[in-house]
Amino acid sequence: MDKISITKLEEIKTEVTESRKKQKTDITICGGTGCHAYGCLEIAQAFKNAIKKQRLQNQVNVRTTGCHGFCERGPIVVIQPAGIFYQRVKLDDINEIISETIINKKVLDRLLYVDPRTGERIVEEKEVPFYKKQKRIIFGNNGFIDPTDVKDYIALDGYKALTKVLFNYTSEEVISEIKTSGLRGRGGAGFSTGIKWEICRQSLADVKYVICNADEGDPGAYMDRSLLEGNPHSVIEGMIIGAYAIGASEGYIYVRMEYPLAVKNITVALKQARDLGLLGESILGSEFSFDINIFRGAGAFVSGEETSLMASIEGRRAFPRQRPPFPAQKGLWGKPTNINNVETWANVPLILNKGADWYSKIGTKKSKGTKIFSLVGKINNTGLVEVPMGITLREIVYDIGGGIKENKKFKAVQTGGPSGGCIPAEMLDLRIDFDTLTKAGSMMGSGGMIVMDEDTCMVDIARYFLEFTQEESCGKCVPCRIGTRQLVEILTRITQGKGEEGDIKKLIDLAKTIKEGSLCGLGQTAPNPVLTTIQHFRDEYEAHIIDKSCPALYCKDLIVYYIEPKKCVGCLLCLKSCPVSAIKGERKMVHVIDQDLCIKCGACLDVCPPKVGAVSKYTGKKRDRILKKAYSIRVRK
Amino acid sequence: MENLSEFEANQKDLIHILHKIQAEYGYIPSQALSSISKHLKISESEIFGVLTFYKAFSLKPRGKHLVTICMGTACHVRGAPMILDELKRQLSIEPGETTEDDLFTLETVNCVGACALGPIVISDGNYHGQMKTREVNKLINKIKKEIKE
């Protein structure tokens, strides 16, 4: 491809739109991470083969696009322009889709999404309740773009903001636009993006850098990955605009190594942008030159912290350092550096295309725009959701998420990853933005939202997160290195039924010390899961410590599995599935669990047919009685 | 041992070099340290410090088959610890270890971002979603069977 000018960019746009018009139908297959795991690539290939076999290539186009967000229902196939939304598509369905939907224009009812509340089958994607309350301004284009083809992005006004900025705006004007928009960093802390850029712009140096932080380490959060995989050019365009505003000549995208598809798509996208002259020397014929490198992380959670991330790019251990000097003054190799998160960068072209005034109308007073959350855990509709700031938690969990799995009781939602906290059911009407979440003791973080139900033990969750941060602590600061270890030990003791009086106070004191005595965000926020669970679920802690019982029936050391003799029909299912042969019995005879052998893996509970429902879990006094009885039988024998 | 001429003689290329060697051998052989040290003109102890800091690099060779279990929060609340216990029991190894016959290496990962499918076990790059404890045995046997064939 030749290097292009602005007119060429327009030509590409017209060319793609025209050729789309000729092809009557567009079969798009979601190529996000979730759908990949479901096997979407085979489905896409099978579609291509079938279309070829039927000689329909001139009328039908098959494309693998970015993530549609509704991961629960993958693999997802959307037929455009009608917008027919097929979910959980299997290889066997393909021939029928082609013969019925593509050729005969009939909708296949069985592949449609059924609204569980009304039982109604829904044809169009935008009518599905999961999407209805969303505002997909950043994420919406994913479904229309083949991430490996820059033309798809250009056809949707891609790089239009860049041309506008390069030839009509001074760098001050760009920064002022971003400041007016009210955009705040999506990586977690929520610092004003415009002010961050301004500080970096004012630092004088021969070389400046911009970095895209795609080291998305929070477990349960994967929106950055889906943006990079599904719409890489939006991030690249944002970075070029940022670099122009700041005066940077080189950029880095720091991607987690666990994201191979993101690395692949971004590498392709960078090459295409370079070939078109959108990166490199004198971009689009202007006087501005800038290029981007990709850097693969190597598996360290702390490298998501900005000073650690820079140390990692420099080829050193990802140790954080004292701030100030801030990266905007002294960053990568001592030069002024601006770091923003993937989602922040993706917001930039949109703001410049549609204007700061338009953007600042979305959201709340102090948090503008939308936020992508990954809604996961015990929720019916797992997936990525983009919502305006200020939406209530209830709307996300019930209207978009479709409520809790198996109609269980909602207990809490955990936001902000290992640095965040748990928000209990009483706060379901909380309007979500940066400040309300911080006030509730949690934080926005990168946007993970893990839903927990009555079966989730909150002490165990606190232990889980602390075990995570303890392992990921780089070891530089003593309170973080040793303090988190002590927290894990106390919490583990409590979940094993060895908790002592005074443990809760010990946890709170230690947590506060770690928060105060740590250098970087990891240590300063690591105790949040402990503090918020104690604040909102103190009764669960007390049940573990005083009654030696786990109300959620989760902690292995505090529960027993028991087969109710009155309910057991003697079907041998559990007996056969037990991996340690702890269940004794014969056909049509009541089965009994040998409590000495039982490893509490839960296999028997899984296989016992729901209508029989003979296997139960017990904790506390009932558990003691069952164990006592089992012991007396053994003694008698 | 390695041809490192494609990399700059600058510490900033250290992690790139380690990635390349790890991908090629499945671990970082100890001889590699001295060649990297010569090329980048930094001490072996510095390289050792960096490579042991990051989880991506290993000084021990891995088994023939890599079984990874996601321990992300979404998988955790859906029962990943039970699956891990069963994997440890079936393979008689702890995470990070390799079986005596060098067939399996068991590893944990903090999140693979396929939370809708949790709990997830990945065997040699293949995703097995919504795992149940009783399916662990089947999975291991399937891999063993494939080896025999």
CB of B133 less than 8 A from some CB of A: yes
pLDDT at A312: 97
pLDDT at A550: 97
Give which of A486, A606, A496 is closest to A550, Cα–Cα.
A496
pLDDT score of A34 more than 80: yes
Are A219 and B110 within 8 A, CB to CB? yes
Q: Would you say A370 and A389 are in contact if contact means Cβ atoms under 8 Å apart?
A: yes
pLDDT at B2: 60
Q: Would you say A554 and A456 are in contact if contact means Cβ atoms under 8 Å apart?
A: yes
Give which of B66, B60, B64, B58 is closest to B121, Cα–Cα.
B66
Find the residue in A nearest to B20 (Cα). Answer: A296
- How does residue A258 score in pLDDT terms, banded at 50, 70 and 90? confident
Q: Which of A468, A583, A601 is most worth mutating to test chain B (most B CB atoms within 10 A of its CB)?
A: A601
Are A221 and B111 within 8 A, CB to CB? yes
- Nearest CB partner across the interface for A298, out of B54, B112, B115: B54
- Estimate to the nearest angstrom the gap between the alpha carbon of A542 and the chain centroid: 32
Give the C-alpha separation, A444 to A374, whole Å.
Answer: 12
State how far residue A626 is from chain B, nearest Cα, in angstroms. 23
Residue A232 preceded by cis peptide, ω within 30: no
Are A220 and B111 within 8 A, CB to CB? yes
Give the C-alpha separation, A167 to A284, whole Å.
Answer: 10
- Nearest CB partner across the interface for B86, out of A313, A377, A601: A601
Residue partners of A482: CB distance under 8 A and separation at least 6: none
A contacts of B134 (beta carbons < 8 Å)? 577, 579, 603, 606-607
Residue B119 preceded by cis peptide, ω within 30: yes
User: Exposed, middle or buried, A588 (CB in 10 Å: 0-12/13-18/19+)?
Assistant: exposed
pLDDT at B111: 86
pLDDT at A24: 78
Average pLDDT over residues A335-352: 97
Residue partners of A379: CB distance under 8 A and separation at least 6: A397, A401, A402, A403, A404, A405, A451
CA dihedral for A499, A501, A507, A513, sign (positive or negative): negative
pLDDT at A3: 58
pLDDT score of A531 more than 70: yes
Give which of A359, A344, A348 is closest to A159, Cα–Cα.
A348
- pLDDT per position as a tens digit, A80-112: 888 899 999 999 999 999 999 999 999 999 999
Name the average pLDDT for chain A: 93
Computed on alpha carbons and rounded to an integer, the radius of gyration of chain A in Å comes to 27
Give the C-alpha separation, A189 to B7, whole Å.
Answer: 36
pLDDT at B125: 82
Q: How many CA atoms lie within 13 A of A473 on its CB side?
A: 26
Please state, for a pLDDT cut of 70, what percent of chain A lies above it: 99
Give the C-alpha separation, B20 to B36, whole Å.
Answer: 12
Q: Would you say B119 and B83 are in contact if contact means Cβ atoms under 8 Å apart?
A: yes
- pLDDT per position as a tens digit, A231-244: 999 999 999 999 99
- pLDDT per position as a tens digit, A451-495: 999 999 999 999 999 999 999 999 999 999 999 999 999 999 999
Are A220 and B115 within 8 A, CB to CB? yes
For residue A312, give both structure tokens. Answer: 């990692």
- pLDDT per position as a tens digit, A596-616: 999 999 999 999 999 999 999
3-state DSSP assignment of residue A371: strand
> Domains in chain B, please, with CATH?
4-53 (no CATH), 65-148 (3.40.30.10)
Are B73 and A219 within 8 A, CB to CB? yes
Q: Which of A70, A222, A380, A457 is most worth mutating to test chain B (most B CB atoms within 10 A of its CB)?
A: A222
Q: Between A22 and A45, where is the model more confident? A: A45
Which residues on neighbouring strands pair with residue A304, listed in sequence order? none
pLDDT score of A179 more than 90: yes
pLDDT score of A635 more than 80: no
CB of A374 less than 8 A from some CB of B: yes
CB of B129 less than 8 A from some CB of A: yes
- How does residue A630 score in pLDDT terms, banded at 50, 70 and 90? confident
pLDDT score of A1 more than 60: no
Q: Between A445 and A583, where is the model more confident? A: A583
- How does residue A159 score in pLDDT terms, banded at 50, 70 and 90? very high
pLDDT at B115: 86
pLDDT at A464: 95
In the A/B pair of chains, how many CB contacts fall below 8 A? 146
Give the C-alpha separation, A94 to A496, whole Å.
Answer: 51
Q: Which of B111, B112, B127 is most worth mutating to test chain A (most A CB atoms within 10 A of its CB)?
A: B111
State how far residue B137 is from chain A, nearest Cα, in angstroms. 9
Could you report the predicted ipTM of this complex, rounded to two decimals?
Answer: 0.93
A contacts of B120 (beta carbons < 8 Å)? 37
- Nearest CB partner across the interface for A37, out of B89, B129, B134: B129
Residue partners of A274: CB distance under 8 A and separation at least 6: A280, A291
Find the residue in B nearest to A606 (Cα). Answer: B132
Give the C-alpha separation, A376 to A384, whole Å.
Answer: 9
pLDDT score of A439 more than 80: yes
Residue A610 preceded by cis peptide, ω within 30: no
Of A175-179, A500-504, B116-120, the range with the lowest mean pLDDT is: B116-120
CA dihedral A529, A530, A536, A542 (to 10 degrees): 150
Are B10 and A220 within 8 A, CB to CB? no
CB of A261 less than 8 A from some CB of B: no
- Estimate to the nearest angstrom the gap between the alpha carbon of A195 and the chain centroid: 27
User: Exposed, middle or buried, A543 (CB in 10 Å: 0-12/13-18/19+)?
Assistant: buried
Are A314 and B12 within 8 A, CB to CB? yes
Find the residue in B nearest to A221 (Cα). Answer: B113
Give the C-alpha separation, A203 to A245, whole Å.
Answer: 13
Torsional class of A82: left (φ above 0), alpha (ψ -120 to 50), beta (otherwise): alpha
Give the C-alpha separation, B147 to B126, whole Å.
Answer: 16
Average pLDDT over residues A123-152: 92
pLDDT tens for the 149 residues of chain B, in order: 567 888 999 999 999 999 999 999 989 999 999 999 999 999 999 999 999 999 999 999 989 999 999 999 999 999 999 999 999 999 999 999 999 999 999 999 988 888 888 899 999 888 898 999 889 989 999 988 887 77
pTM of the model: 0.93
State how far residue B147 is from chain A, nearest Cα, in angstroms. 23
- pLDDT per position as a tens digit, A183-230: 999 987 889 999 999 999 999 999 999 999 999 888 888 999 999 999
pLDDT at A199: 96
pLDDT at B1: 54
If you write DSSP's letter for every residue of A345-362 in order, what string do you get? HHHHHHHHHH-HHHHHTS
For the beta carbon of residue A89, count every other beta carbon within 10 angstroms: 23
CB of B139 less than 8 A from some CB of A: no
Are B113 and A299 within 8 A, CB to CB? no
pLDDT at A176: 97
- Estimate to the nearest angstrom the gap between the alpha carbon of B28 and the chain centroid: 12
- 87-116 of B, contacting A, C-beta below 8 A: 89, 109-116
